[in-house]
Structure 1
Amino acid sequence: MPYASELHTATALALQAGALLLRHRTAGFEVEHKTSADDPVTVADREASALIVAGLRSAFPADGLLSEEEVDSPERLGRERVWIIDPIDGTKEFTTGSPDFCVSIGLAVGGEAVLGVVYAPATDELFSGVVGEGVQKNGEAVTANRPDAFRLSVSDTEYGRELRRHDLPGMFPSGSIALKLARMAVGEADVTFSMSPRSEWDICAGDALLRAAGGELRRRDGRPIVYNSVRPSLEQGIIGGTPAALAWLEAELLTRRLPTAHLNLTPDAPAWAVLSEADQKALAGHPGVCVRYSGDELLALLVVDLHTRTAERAEGDAFHLERLTRDVVRALGPLA
C-alpha cells in the first residue's frame, strides 16, 4: 500500500495527541484568544502540536511541516511533501466540553491532499485513508451506504448566526470541519459548505479522506484547493461532498443565493466581477480588498490597509458587513 509508513506514523501520533488532549481536559486549563472570541487557543493545542511535529520531523526529516500552532517557515514552500496539522480542530468545542473536536494530520504532495488521519478522542473515533486506497474507521474498511435524502453538515457557528434562517433541507450543525469531512468519507453525512474562509490545516486531512472515498472538496467559487501555499488560507468558503450531493447543494446555494466571503481579493478571482468597473480599476493591485457576495451581487466591501490594519473603506448591508469584518479579524487579526 502506498504511504503505509506515513499512515502508520500519523495514526500513532494522532492517538498520542488525542490522549494528551483528554488528560488536559481532565486536569483543566486556561483559554486564551488569538484574534477574537471566535479564535480560542489552549496549552493543549500547543503541546499536541509539538508532539506531532516532533514525531513527523523525526520520521520524515525531508518533509515540510505546517501546523496551526507553530511559527510558519518559508522552508516548507520548497518541499514536495508537506504535513499539514491542526492539533485541535474544534478548539471552541474542546474548551466547552463538547465531544466535537479532533486531531487532524494530513499529507499534501505536489499541492494535493493524499493522506489523512482524523482522530476524535472524546468518542474514540479514528478515521484514516489514502487517496486511491479507500477509508477506514477504527481500523475497518468502510463502504458507505447513502440514504435517499442528502444530509448537509454545516458549521454550528454559521448555523446559529445565519443559516437557521434559511430553509436548506437536511441541515445539521456541528463544530469541527475536519470531523465533518471524515464523517462524510464514511457515509455519516453527504455534503458540506461554509460561508467563511478556511485554512489549510482545517481541511487537508479531511480532504484526503473525502477524496479517498470518491468525494471532492473545492473552493466556493469552483476553483481547486492547492495546498502548501505561501499564505496557508483559502480566503473564502469551501464546498464538498459526494458527487451527487455536491451537484445538488451547488444548485440549492445558487437558488437561495447564500453568500460567501472572499478576502484579499485579486483580479484573477471570479469574485472580482462583483466589483463595479470603477472599483475594479481603483482597487487593482490593492492587497486588502475583502468582499462578501452572493452570485453577482456585492453584499459588503471592506478595504484594509494590511500594514496599519485600518479599514480604508467599509460599505454594504450592516449584517453582511459585520459578518465580513468577523472573517477579516479572524484571518488578519484585530483592526486598528
Structure 2
Amino acid sequence: MSEFSADAGLGGAATNAGKNPGNDFDAEPGALLELAVGVARDAAATARRMRAEAIGDVETKSTATDVVTAADKAVERQVIEALRAARPGDGVLGEEYGSTEEAATGPVRWILDPIDGTVNYLYGLPQYAVSLAAEVGGTVVAGVVVNAATGDEWTATLGGGAWRGGRRLHCSAPAGLGQALVGTGFSYDARRREHQGRVVAGLITRVRDIRRFGAAALDLCAVAEGMLDGYYEKGLNPWDWAAGGLIATEAGAVVSGLNGAAPGLDLLVAAAPAVFNDLHDVLANLDASGGP
C-alpha cells in the first residue's frame, strides 16, 4: 500500500461527504478514510458552531459531573446521516445513540465519538475531537481524529502509516521509563477515581511526569506523534480509542491491554516500544485494571 498523506487526495472528501457517492466507495481502507475525513471535518465544524448553544443545554449522563450536550447528539446524528447517504448498508456504533448494526448489510462498521472531551468542550479548553473509524471484519482499517477546537487532524489506514498534515508520524524512543512522559484519564465515578488516584500515586515516581488532557482520542494521537511517550486509561469504550488506537499503532506504538488482553474497558495501554513493557509491568503491579 502506498503512503497516505492527510492532505493528499482529500480535497473533494469534505465537499462530497453530504452527497451520495453510491458504490464509488467500497471496503478499501483508502476510500473509507477519504469518506471518514470529509464527514469528520464537517462534524467538527458543526461542533465548533454549536458550542455557544450547547453550554446552555446540558443533561447529566453517568454522574452529575459527566455531561452530554446538545452538540454531542447533533454531531452524531449528522455523521450517521452522512454515512448512511454515502454507504446505506453499513452499521454505525456511536456513543450517544448506540448501534445501528441491526439494519446493516455491508461489511463495514463505523465507530464514532461525536465529541471526545465533552467537559473540555463545555469549558472552552481546546482539547475536544471528533473520532471516526471504519472497521471491516472486526479490524479497524481506517481512522481519523479531528481536534474540533483547532482543526488539527490525524489519520491512518491499516498498513498505510499514520499522518498529520502531510507528515508521517513515528512514536518516540525514550531512553527508559524514568524518562517517559505518560498520559492518563480518570472516570467520572468517584469510587473508580479513588482507585485511579492510587495508581497515579504509585506511577508518578517511576516516570518523568504525568499529563491528563481529557480526551482519549487526542491522547492516543499524542503518543503517535511523540508528544507523549505512553498513555493508559481504564474504562474506555470502542468509540474512545478505535481511531486513535489505529493511529498510534501505525506510528509504531504498542497498543494493548494488560497481560496479553485486548485493549478495552479493563485497561488500554499505548506506548513507545522502548517503554511499553516496563510501563505495562508497573501498571500490572499497581492493579491499574482493578477497582470498581
Instruction: Please classify the TM superposition score into its range, dividing by the shorter chain length.
Output: 0.7 to 0.9
- Residues 219, 236 of structure 1: 8 Å contact kept: yes
1:124 maps to which residue?
Answer: 151
2:280 maps to which residue?
Answer: 250
1:210 correspondence with 2:252: no
Secondary structure class of the residue paired with 1:179: helix
Q: 1:102 aligns with which of 129, 148, 171?
A: 129
**Does 28-37 or 76-85 show the bigger shift?**
76-85
**Does 41-50 or 9-18 show the bigger shift?**
9-18
**Post-superposition shift, 1:32?**
1.0
Change (3 A) 1:141 1:197: same
- Residues 156, 174 of structure 1: 8 Å contact kept: no
**Does 156-165 or 178-187 show the bigger shift?**
156-165
**Post-superposition shift, 1:200?**
0.7
1:54 correspondence with 2:81: yes
Q: 2:90 aligns with which of 63, 67, 70?
A: 63
- Residues 31, 95 of structure 1: 8 Å contact kept: no
Structure 1 CA distance, aligned partners of 2:44 and 2:168?
Answer: 22
Change (3 A) 1:3 1:103: same
What is the root-mean-square deviation of aligned Cα atoms in Å?
2.4
1:15-70: CA deviation from partner (whole Å, max 9, x where unpaired): 11111111122444322112212431001001111111111122222221111111
Structure 1 CA distance, aligned partners of 2:218 and 2:119?
Answer: 14
1:24 correspondence with 2:61: no
**Post-superposition shift, 1:219?**
2.2
Query: How many residues get paired?
Result: 253
Secondary structure class of the residue paired with 1:35: coil
Change (3 A) 1:143 1:11: same
- Residues 91, 100 of structure 2: 8 Å contact kept: no
1:134 correspondence with 2:170: no
1:189 maps to which residue?
Answer: 228
Change (3 A) 1:235 1:77: farther
Structure 1 CA distance, aligned partners of 2:113 and 2:172?
Answer: 29
Q: Which 5+ residue runs of structure 1 have no aligned equivalent? A: 226-233, 262-291, 293-323, 325-336
- Residues 33, 39 of structure 1: 8 Å contact kept: yes
1:155 maps to which residue?
Answer: 185
Structure 2 CA distance, aligned partners of 1:251 and 1:221?
Answer: 9
1:165 maps to which residue?
Answer: 201
Report the TM-score, using the length of structure 2 for normalisation: 0.78
Secondary structure class of the residue paired with 2:99: coil
1:71-124: CA deviation from partner (whole Å, max 9, x where unpaired): 434527875421100001111111122112111001112212221100112122
Task: Say which one has the larger Rg.
Answer: 1
Secondary structure class of the residue paired with 2:283: helix
Structure 1 CA distance, aligned partners of 2:81 and 2:104?
Answer: 19
Q: 1:180 aligns with which of 202, 219, 237?
A: 219
Q: Which 5+ residue runs of structure 2 have no aligned equivalent? A: 3-27, 188-192
Change (3 A) 1:168 1:101: farther
Q: Percent identity?
A: 27
Letter of the aligned partner of 1:105 in structure 2? Answer: L
- Residues 30, 42 of structure 1: 8 Å contact kept: yes
**Post-superposition shift, 1:142?**
2.8
